Chains A and B, each alone.
Chain A
Amino acid sequence: EAGVTQFPSHSVIEKGQTVTLRCDPISGHDNLYWYRRVMGKEIKFLLHFVKESKQDESGMPNNRFLAERTGGTYSTLKVQPAELEDSGVYFCASSPRGGIGYGYTFGSGTRLTVV
């Protein structure tokens, strides 16, 4: 089966611009997660979708970040306006329904650089 796909793999934008990251989960996976690692820090949870609904968005850093999952398929994470501290690697993961007993499958990430 195809894995979790993220694009772009790299993005370089100027401070104040908008960037949209996309994640295509494994087909049929109801659960979709966003995580990120900013420079020198640990990987941190951002939010969790179950199908198209936000189950947990407690990790979203502020209202400059907006995540959507249209029709319960792919998801986008928009950063608007981007700040320097948003630079890092953004990971998406997915798991099946009732996926708490399963491991999550992560994508390779999008490396975001804000200059």
Chain B
Amino acid sequence: DAKTTQPTSMDCAEGRAANLPCNHSTISGNEYVYWYRQIHSQGPQYIIHGLKNNETNEMASLIITEDRKSSTLILPHATLRDTAVYYCIVRVVGAGSYQLTFGKGTKLSVIP
């Protein structure tokens, strides 16, 4: 699976949009981008995933650049409960291992 690079930490004001970037410059054509988060002392929580089109669900939006070398997770109206470590994970879908490779992620602090 391709390697991802994320900022170590970010702050966001409550009520504002949180934009979390992820670089995955070595991504291959059959690799999806997944986002998970881990709120303190809980298990990781799936947020969203995509291949090349932008995706939106009730939690977030995922914007993937046209060359697929980077993506941005957008939390449109961050709340204090969104304070967590966010993980960007790239993996092949369709064959082989189902492993998720967690990196260090981005620690997002939502500030009142």
Chain B residue contacts of A58, Cβ below 8 A: 97, 99
**Do A31 and B98 touch across chains, with their CB atoms under 8 A apart?**
yes
Q: Is B100 part of the binding interface, using a Cβ–Cβ cutoff of 8 Å?
A: yes
Q: Is B104 part of the binding interface, using a Cβ–Cβ cutoff of 8 Å?
A: yes
**Could you say which interface size class chain A belongs to?**
20 to 34
One of B36, B42, B46, B49 near A108 (C-beta < 8 A): B42
Q: Is A56 part of the binding interface, using a Cβ–Cβ cutoff of 8 Å?
A: yes
Chain A residue contacts of B47, Cβ below 8 A: 103
The count of chain B contact residues (Cβ–Cβ below 8 Å) is 22
One of B43, B46, B93, B97 near A91 (C-beta < 8 A): B43
Chain B residue contacts of A106, Cβ below 8 A: 43-46
- Using a CB-CB cutoff of 8 Å, which residues 47-96 of chain A contact chain B? 48, 55-56, 58-59, 91, 93, 95
Binding site for B on A (CB under 8 A): 4, 31, 33, 35, 42-45, 48, 55-56, 58-59, 91, 93, 95, 99-109
List 7 tightest A-B contacts by C-beta distance, closest first: A103-B46, A106-B43, A43-B102, A45-B99, A100-B93, A106-B44, A91-B43
- Having A43-B38, A58-B99, A100-B94, one finds 19 other A-B pairs with CB under 8 Å, namely A31-B98, A35-B102, A43-B44, A45-B99, A45-B100, A48-B97, A48-B99, A55-B98, A56-B98, A91-B44, A93-B43, A99-B98, A101-B49, A102-B46, A103-B34, A104-B46, A106-B43, A107-B43, A109-B43
